[in-house]
Amino acid sequence: QVHLVESGGGLVQAGGSLRLSCAASRRAFSTYAMGWFRQAPGKEREFVAAISWSGGSTYYADSVKGRFTISRDNAKNTMALQMNSLKAEDTAVYYCAGDRTPRTRLAVRQEGYDYWGQGTQVTVSS
């Protein structure tokens, strides 16, 4: 079992930046692909970004491409999501997730992830 804890959420004005972090409880984290998802009020949880276990491969939802950057530090069992040029529509609860299954492609569906954090609220005021 891997416990994931997100931090770094908050209130920011449109155009601003936030950096989310995800801390994992186990060294096994370094062997898992990781992802970020978000859920806005009244909407389904949606994929944001994913990163391979080595950090060498990343993938982004079209809605955040060019604005968000996913990264990881396996030595510290942490992952981050740097969010720039934030928009009101980025407002959501953001979740980090871990995928323990070796894959040829990064998973973009919730079903592909085994471990989830409790979420952190990001609110962007317009």
Contact 25, 98 (CB under 8 A): no
How confident is the model over 47-76, as pLDDT tens digits?
999 999 999 999 999 999 999 999 999 999
The pLDDT of residue 47 is 98
The pLDDT of residue 78 is 96
How confident is the model over 90-102, as pLDDT tens digits?
999 999 999 999 9
The pLDDT of residue 125 is 97
Render the burial of 7-23: b for 16+ CB within 10 Å, e for the rest: ebbeebeeeeebebbbb
How confident is the model over 2-42, as pLDDT tens digits?
899 999 999 999 999 999 999 999 878 889 999 999 999 99
Contact 2, 28 (CB under 8 A): yes
The pLDDT of residue 1 is 80
